[in-house]
Structure 1
Amino acid sequence: MRLFLPILAVSTTLLTSGAMASGFPVTVESCDRAVTFEAAPSRAVSNDVNLTEMMLALGLTGNMVGYTGISDWKTLDETLREGVADLPELSPNYPTKEVLLGADADFYFAGWNYGMRVGGEVTPDTLAEFGIAVYELTESCIHIMDKPKASIEDMYADLLNLGRIFGVAEQAEALVAGYRQDLDAFTAGLAVLDAPVKVFVYDSGENKPFTAGRYAMPTALIEAAGGVNIMDDVDSSWVEIGWEPVIERNPDVVVIVDYGSVTAEQKADFMRDNPAFKDVPAVVNDRFVVLPYVEATPGPRNIDAIKTLAAAFRE
């Protein structure tokens, strides 16, 4: 026993020192909840292509057991395919509780309508009883609480919070600082527009379009590039509307979100060939800009999206 007690004391000291060095325990804000982590998750699952890419940007694949919600309806491009090559897709769409439990997950990175539904079977509350912590995508919080309109700061907040959750806060801070510097340098060199370009975001749908409202990330991307989302007054995130307000508001540019079985060109052709849009400036002048889904939703590629939009608005 005389030998055992000193060894235990040293081990405890080292563990305590390691915990302090990595910043644990940490508490982060997730929508309207404060979530505390005693240690970094080691069996994490991310849902959707953009959230998974946030994990990749922070080098967290070693802390993951898989991802969900990509192959069923979105394009997994080569960059992301290489990043998750060693990870299984646990479900092609939203996972069930059984999927997450079967993977022995201890963490789920998702959002409302990005892997969770209000009142659904997979929520922070339903997973808590199984010891699965949840961090919610900031953009999606509008579905359960009041929040300011969409901002690039939402994406930065998610990266910084993930950094703290997984004990890589310094890497996250450096990554975000790099994004800020890159974007500031880019926007500082942009030609000033006489007036903001009026933009309609066309996600999907023919009878009724699915588009981005005030609280969806494209609103922030468009504003950073020198435009204005014509649906900025729609107090929602991603939402289905009618075509009448689109026609009435006369967009100068249509931003097409590219994913799924209907191609971006097919979406553009639908508007070009429909007589209802014959007087809409964006259609008359064939001003369609394509953003891949992973650029139009919150994630590391938002900076590239702003650059693409800014160039298109100034043509």
Structure 2
Amino acid sequence: MRSRVWGCTAAVVLSGLMAAGCGGGKGNAGSASAGTAPNAVSGDHPVSVTDCTGARTTFSAAPQRIVTSNAAALELLLRLGAGDKVIGTGFPPGKGTLPGPLDAQAQKVKVLSRSVIPKEQLLGSGADLYIDTFAGMGGMGGMGGGGTGDAPTPQEFEAAGIKHVYLKSTACAARGKGAVTDLSAVEADITSLGAITGTSGRAKDIVAGMRAKVAAVRKAVGGTAQSKRPTYFFFDYDAGTAQPTVTCRRQLANAVITLAGARNAFADCDGDFRQVGWEDVIAKNPDWIQLGVRDRGSAAANSKAFDEAEQWLKSNPATKGLKAVQQGHLLRIGSERTTIAGVENADTVQTIAKALYPGKVG
């Protein structure tokens, strides 16, 4: 990727992000896992971002009233130091589910909906920015829409004075090409939000921390031959058990699983999510199964949900004979930190690798 300078205007493009501004020394480039990322300076506006189709939205200044579609987007803003700009969220994080002081900050954010924010409430929220995690996520049941109708149109967002941007690594996954095998798209989301909110320095530090964790895992397990790597099935318990929903090669979970030194049992299916039959899971007979449970709002409720998911696998005639079930290779890791963009994607890589390669990963 290249940066070009015309007079006093510097343009740097990264995975749909363009930061433009005048002044000496801005727009320096740094190394990224997939190309070169901008090292933007806090307050370096205007900034433009693109949506899943390439349509561009420009910010002349950092937004002051932000609504997030879910806990993942909220957490990223809190980590970036822009949490004081958030005026509301959907799918709020349960008390105690975010680490350290982030939890206290998150609990102060107004909850606009416990699920998808209704269209009318979103448009009337007074926000100047809406960060959307779900648009285009076919496996999430059209969660980009409002709870009482369709999602707002671009014209409705504009009329309400709300700019609409995406966590593209999650929301746009179904439109991608090829397998997702690293966290570069998540890093681009973090870099993008940092540029938009004027917190690029913090974004750079966060990305560096994630890369260090993943690099340590790669160093520990990278020498394992592909054929020797265990197969891994993400069991999306909350998507329903009558017909399993699997994570395919374009879904972020494929990258998390791959980086952890495993082989996604359904990496051969195109797209992000797909429904299959239990006979397909039985045919794969994975070495490990992740009990993918979404946050229930408390540690006790989450534990109960994990118990239920494990018991279902152990008691169901179609699954109780699976190798992973028989050997007790069942990992209790939340869905969100595996399938939705966030800092904890790197933590999940470590968690999975520690279980699959005991003694090798610190």
> What TM-score, normalized to structure 1?
0.85
- 1:272 and 2:314 equivalent? yes
Cα distance in 2 for partners of 1:189, 1:246 equals 29
- 1:196 and 2:229 equivalent? yes
Aligned equivalent of 1:237, options 259, 263, 272: 272
- For 1:254, what is the secondary structure of its paired residue? strand
Q: How many residues end up aligned between the 2 structures? A: 296
Identity %: 27
Partner of 1:54: 76
The Cα offsets for residues 233-252 of structure 1, whole Å up to 9 and x where unpaired, read as 22222333221110001100
Report how far residue 37 of structure 1 moved: 0.7
Is the CA contact (8 Å cut-off) linking 2:217 and 2:260 kept in structure 1? no
The Cα offsets for residues 111-148 of structure 1, whole Å up to 9 and x where unpaired, read as 314751499323545413322111112122134x3344
- For 1:77, what is the secondary structure of its paired residue? coil
- For 1:40, what is the secondary structure of its paired residue? coil
Is the CA contact (8 Å cut-off) linking 2:81 and 2:199 kept in structure 1? no
Is the CA contact (8 Å cut-off) linking 2:235 and 2:290 kept in structure 1? yes
The Cα offsets for residues 176-234 of structure 1, whole Å up to 9 and x where unpaired, read as 12221232134313474351211110112221122312222211111001111111122
The Cα offsets for residues 71-114 of structure 1, whole Å up to 9 and x where unpaired, read as 6xx78615353231321111111112321233201101113147
The Cα offsets for residues 237-273 of structure 1, whole Å up to 9 and x where unpaired, read as 2333221110001100001112247711211111111
Structure 1 counterpart of 2:352, one-letter code: L
Aligned equivalent of 1:88, options 94, 110, 132: 110
Structure 1, unpaired ranges of 5+: 1-15
Cα distance in 1 for partners of 2:80, 2:144 equals 23
- For 1:67, what is the secondary structure of its paired residue? strand
Cα distance in 2 for partners of 1:46, 1:104 equals 13
Partner of 2:130: 108
- For 1:22, what is the secondary structure of its paired residue? coil
Q: Give 1:285-300 correspondences, 5 Å limit.
A: 285-296=327-338, 297-300=340-343
Aligned equivalent of 2:163, options 121, 124, 133: 133
Structure 2, unpaired ranges of 5+: 1-21, 24-40
Cα distance in 1 for partners of 2:97, 2:353 equals 23
- For 2:289, what is the secondary structure of its paired residue? strand
Cα distance in 2 for partners of 1:33, 1:147 equals 18
Is the CA contact (8 Å cut-off) linking 1:107 and 1:133 kept in structure 2? yes
Report how far residue 161 of structure 1 moved: 0.2
Partner of 2:4: none
Cα distance in 2 for partners of 1:281, 1:218 equals 21
> What TM-score, normalized to structure 2?
0.74
Partner of 1:9: none
Which structure has the larger Rg over C-alpha atoms? 1
Partner of 1:312: 355
Aligned equivalent of 1:184, options 183, 195, 215: 215
Partner of 1:26: 47
- For 1:184, what is the secondary structure of its paired residue? helix
Aligned equivalent of 2:286, options 251, 264, 276: 251
Aligned equivalent of 2:97, options 71, 74, 77: 77
Cα distance in 2 for partners of 1:140, 1:21 equals 26
Partner of 2:31: none
Q: Which of structure 1's runs of 4+ aligned residues deviate more than 4 A?
A: none
